[in-house]
Structure 1
């Protein structure tokens, strides 16, 4: 047995025991009376002698019982625990899941509450000499408490963990666990190439909804999975998109997918709202989810009910203004975060686009596209006219006068802060150059996930030749040839560039149906003007907001009520990555117009919405089954000490009252 609060026990004992004994030394104050005989007052005389100052203590049963009661109370204050399993100074890493699915409602709270209770039990079961650290994780991992043998500190830090709406990924948490638990003996001035490494026991507390579990490997230590949660009933929105019409910007199309992850069939209403105003209500019938035949619950994608039922809803509305669209499931279930999906839509506005080039054919293609894009106001000039522009004509408030400038086969260094598209030309900035030409190559790879490349397919684009580009490391390479970059996106000193290595006249791209879509994507991405899709994000994605002229800082109001003010300096684009909660993120810049922008962050994650707990995890090639609760190695003893004190207190009370009655 050991005492977790030994200093508290010793301090209390040093104060309480002398005080109790002193009370027996002190003489009671009595009024003297003359009596005829002391025969009937023998007990009172004995009591008088005991309480005389500095008299030697005589045998006193009441004093003995009171000391036993005090010993029980003091023992309880010392927080004794009994060691049922031998402790060898273990090192324990507690991985605590705080992802979106941990907000699932359970009896007595949510899953994170259950997980924290399990973590606290693990801490209280630590033996003398054991150390533990706590790491919380969702889409990112965070060290909640470094290695410590102070159980109170560990418990305090565990209680501060709160659930986010992020998706569950284990990779970063495991990397931190292995890095911190591999303890290297390193003495100052002593070389230790063969330093000993101590592996930790890793305690994973989660509902098992881990997207990348089967991709991980535990390199050192032993992993134990403690599963929490029981609820399975959930209907969630797993996809949503709102987009203005390409030819009719006043028309807005809204698409949403609703999916039933529970075993029972569900009938529910789905409502479309704009700024809280109901626009449409649809009734949806969803069959219950079922387990695929022969499927074993070894990973989040195959766990529980795998054959789910879903419905796709399409809404059309006319809206010339802006606001926040909301798709809402009118049903309460175990997980509320996926019952709502939001998408801000901005009013249509014209984007000023300047085209610079000398060839009528390319101007013809660009003008045809702009004519079908009512939100684009196009102006065209030759390369020589652009180079001769006065500075006050080229700039406004230290930035480019146009929202976007497009160059056709022209290299230039006249690039004030702004947004630029180059076809067959390059910006003359540090780190960028075009040396030689590449021939007889094909475009072999492109990033379909980047906003610039949505609905753009380059596999059938034929290019005769392109310039061999030298780009800075920070450049995002959007399309690659066999040995060189074909299309790239860059940021540089308040400017952003889209650079295409080939001349449009050396390709058939302008004749492809997706070339206008690329131009549309480029304008939307570079200006964030009509790009409503860029203002609707998933948890963990980065907000990218265009910085208005004259702005030096921005205030971000988060959906959890927290607000923070950040500097933007002379940057053209403001990036914000703390999108760990669903809801609206409202940005207010400090420019003269107090420009505001609203971004929506949604869950839209089938892995998190599939809330049925996973009993078994596949970590790499190893199948990890759940543990039934927490195995106790150290049993608290203080309740028995309190019971001991109460028993002797009752005995002391009974004896005292019996003596008084006699």
Structure 2
């Protein structure tokens, strides 16, 4: 026996002192007070009876003394915290990884899988031994320890209650590496994984994650059913030629083993756009395409709901969000001696503010002060000094050209096209007839988008921090203006400059680190989450960095913040009224996470995790608890015997 609290000498000292004090109180002479009575003969018989029972009275007082001494002994030894020596040596060190990923929101067990997991972990906490220590960590897209390694059950349960489910996949390799590091060098180490088993392989960029041979790996499975239908793809884009209209692509997946009937709703700006009833076979993926939609200016949402007789146990993947790109007006300056084909093509987009000037007016009036435009189109006119703006050069010539112009080409055609480049998306240039053109010589970082057999005739690149597109022929000397590809090529190029091309991200994926562009000189930005809470996130190189774990719509504000007063603009003067507020959406969109069939076993690097054992609720190894309970019981016994006149 070892005393973990006070030493044995201290316990005996306290016991001896308290016992001596209590005994002294009992052996003090009982002082009787004199009481006058009217007739002494009346009391003589009573006094004789008292003398006959004096021995029994002494025995009763001795019993009371023994009860007091036992109570003192119990309290003294409780202060010493006595424990078995083997208990102090063989205490367990546990790291419990509680899965809080999206699949743990499944409701196949009540109240949901995460709630059931918490109840199982509480049983482990209440079954800890006196020398056992535990660390509780939340496992989702990151791994978050919720406290130190501790044996305090109250502290551990408080940490467990703080776990909240997220809309992201669990990063099991990272969590396992954290657990390995936490128990390294500790005796009787054990890693407990509480999950539905939808964790994937324990492999990351550094390779396979291995558990040390002297560390016990335990798996506590959660979950019962596998019926679920979820939205696994969702995206939206505007039409290049009519930005008031848009198209939506989504995918619905039945990950369960049974046929399911669902109702799919599509909302634009909170208004119902489409309502469809679908039937999905087991493990079926059903894509849906909505072309030529209108009416929504900013937000799109998709929702699914099971119909009668069907079951959907995971609500986290029943809702998807997307944002349409903002339809902001772009200022376009056209420098041309006159080109009806060019001006007519630009009129197709109502969100373009087009201004046409002659080459002479541009050189004399606009070039000295730099054009205030998003895009400048030079049609057969190339200035000596490039503008500080994005530019399209049609048949450039001379030293002001962004690329070197070489020999004239007779009847060139597009023999090679970089079809993945955004400026030629949805265009067909293979059979365009060109009377003559010029070979363009790109610089090392430029991209040749189109080339004839003799050399490049369509190049995209960057000069001085601004993008450019150079076309090595005059469109009026070709049949390109007679094709749909002509306005598409122009509008694609403008979208390429203004970041409104097909690469627009309508939503981020949860579980990834988001890097969202924002203007914030303070080095941080304010993020408004879907639930209404706000937090500050760091800004690095003009982008707010945040690990997103919840689906929904977000608002990101720069230094001035959402709803604050306008800040002074050093270029345009005070109270410019500009606020850098960016909205974006986030979704789960993970077919693997939507597959919620619980795994019966967990295998890490070929090693099967064992079953949980050795935890019994209500059995504690701290002997002082039982000593205190005995002292309380003894106090109750003394109270009862005192009032029954047994020990007095």
Q: TM-score of the superposition, structure 1-length normalised?
A: 0.63
For 1:636, the equivalent position in structure 2 comes to: 620
Q: CA deviation at 1:257?
A: 2.3
Cα 1:254–1:630 change in 2 (3 A) is: farther
**Contact map agreement 2:367 2:387 (CA 8 A) in 1:** no
Return the offset for 1:337: 1.7
Match of 1:104 among 89, 106, 111: 106
1:163 corresponds to: 165
List per-residue Cα deviations over 1:6-56 (Å, max 9, x = no partner).
4799999999998898677658999946454445557799989999xxxxx
Match for residue 585 of structure 2? 600
Which residue number corresponds to residue 268 of structure 1? Answer: 262
Match of 2:411 in 1: none
Find out whether 1:557 has 2:557 as its counterpart: no
Distance 1:250 1:40, change over 3 A: farther
1:412 and 1:566 map into 2 onto residues whose CA distance is 44
Shift of 1:390: 5.4
CA positional deviation for 1:581: 0.9
Residues 62, 158 of structure 1: alpha-carbon distance in 2 compared, 3 angstrom cutoff: same
CA distance in 1, matches of 2:460, 2:153: 53
Spell out the pairing of 1:235-314 with structure 2 (5 A cutoff): 235-287=229-281, 289=282, 308-314=283-289
Residue 172 of structure 1 corresponds to which residue in structure 2?
174
Residue deviations 1:281-301, cap 9 Å, x none?
A: 2222234x3xxxxxxxxxxxx
Question: Residue 413 of structure 2 corresponds to which residue in structure 1?
Answer: none
**5 Å matches for 1:115-194?**
115-116=117-118, 135-145=137-147, 156-177=158-179
**Contact 1:94-1:202 within 8 A present in 2 as well:** yes
Quote the Cα distance in structure 1 between the aligned partners of 2:105 and 2:519. Answer: 35
Q: Is the 8 A contact 1:201 1:221 kept in 2?
A: no
Report the counterpart of residue 330 of structure 2 in structure 1.
Answer: 351
Q: 1:62 aligns with which of 43, 58, 67?
A: 67
Give the alignment partner of residue 585 of structure 1, picking from 550, 554, 569.
554
The answer to whether structure 1 residue 623 and structure 2 residue 606 are counterparts is yes
Verify: 1:327 aligned to 2:302, yes or no: yes
Q: Which has the larger radius of gyration?
A: 2
| CA distance in 2 between partners of 1:252 and 1:270 (Å) | 19
Cα 1:180–1:596, aligned 2, differ >3 Å: closer, same or farther? same
Q: Could you report, residue by residue, the CA deviation over 1:347-396 in whole angstroms, capped at 9, with x for unpaired residues?
A: 6443234578x999xx999878755544444567899987877589537x
How many residue pairs are counted as aligned between the two chains?
579
Write the distance in 1 (CA, Å) between the matches of 2:21 and 2:448.
86
Shift of 1:252: 3.2
Quick check: 1:200–1:220 contact (8 Å CA) kept in 2? no
- Of 318, 328, 339, the match for 2:318: 339
Residue matched to 2:199: 210
Give me the whole-angstrom Cα distance separating, in 2, the residues matched to 1:517 and 1:653: 96
Given that residues 64 and 647 in structure 2 are in contact (C-alpha distance below 8 angstroms), is that contact kept between their aligned partners in structure 1? no
Q: CA deviation at 1:553?
A: 7.8
Mapped contact 1:71–1:645 kept (Cα < 8 A):
no
Cross-structure match for 2:399: none
Question: 1:109, CA displacement in angstroms?
Answer: 4.0
Mark the CA change 1:48 to 1:90 in structure 2 (over 3 Å): closer, same or farther: closer
Q: 1:465 to 1:333 in 2, by over 3 A?
A: same
Calculate the aligned-residue CA RMSD, in Å: 6.3
- State the alpha-carbon separation in 2 of the partners of residues 515 and 11 from structure 1: 96
Q: Does 1:542 align with 2:514?
A: yes
1:394 corresponds to which of 370, 374, 391: 370
1:543-592 deviations in Å (ceiling 9; x for gaps): 634659x99985421113321356879x8x64343422111102345451
Deviation string, structure 1 residues 390-442 (Cα, Å, up to 9, x no partner): 589537xxxxx3335679999999776x77789999xxxxxxx999x9xxxxx
- Asked if the contact 1:327/1:340 (under 8 Å) is kept, the reply is yes
| Secondary structure of 2:593 counterpart | helix
Cα separation, 1, equivalents of 2:543 and 2:155: 38
Aligned residue runs from structure 1 range 21-32, under 5 A: 32=33
CA distance in 2 between partners of 1:487 and 1:156 (Å): 62
Range with bigger deviation, 401-410 or 333-342: 401-410
Q: 3-state SS of the aligned residue for 1:585?
A: strand
**Distance (Å, rounded) in 2 between the aligned partners of 1:142 and 1:640:** 36
Could you say what secondary structure the match of 1:337 adopts? helix
Partner of 2:444: helix, strand, or coil? strand
Contact in 2 for aligned 1:354/1:404 (Cα 8 Å): yes
Normalized against structure 2, the TM-score is what? 0.65
8 Å CA contact retained: 1:178, 1:220: yes
> Where do 5+ consecutive residues of structure 2 fail to align?
36-42, 397-401, 407-415, 432-438, 450-457, 561-565, 567-576
State the distance in 1 between where 2:8 and 2:256 align: 53
Partner of 1:609: 594
Counterparts of 2:160 and 2:74, CA distance in 1: 35
Say yes or no: does 1:230 pair with 2:196.
no
CA distance in 2, matches of 1:281, 1:661: 84
For 1:173 and 1:411, the matched residues in 2 are separated by 59
Does the aligned pair in 1 maintain the 2:92–2:187 contact within 8 Å?
no
Bigger mean CA offset, 510-519 vs 60-69: 510-519
Measure, in 2, the Cα distance between the counterparts of 1:9 and 1:101: 53
Whether the 8 Å CA contact 2:507–2:584 is kept in 1: the answer is yes
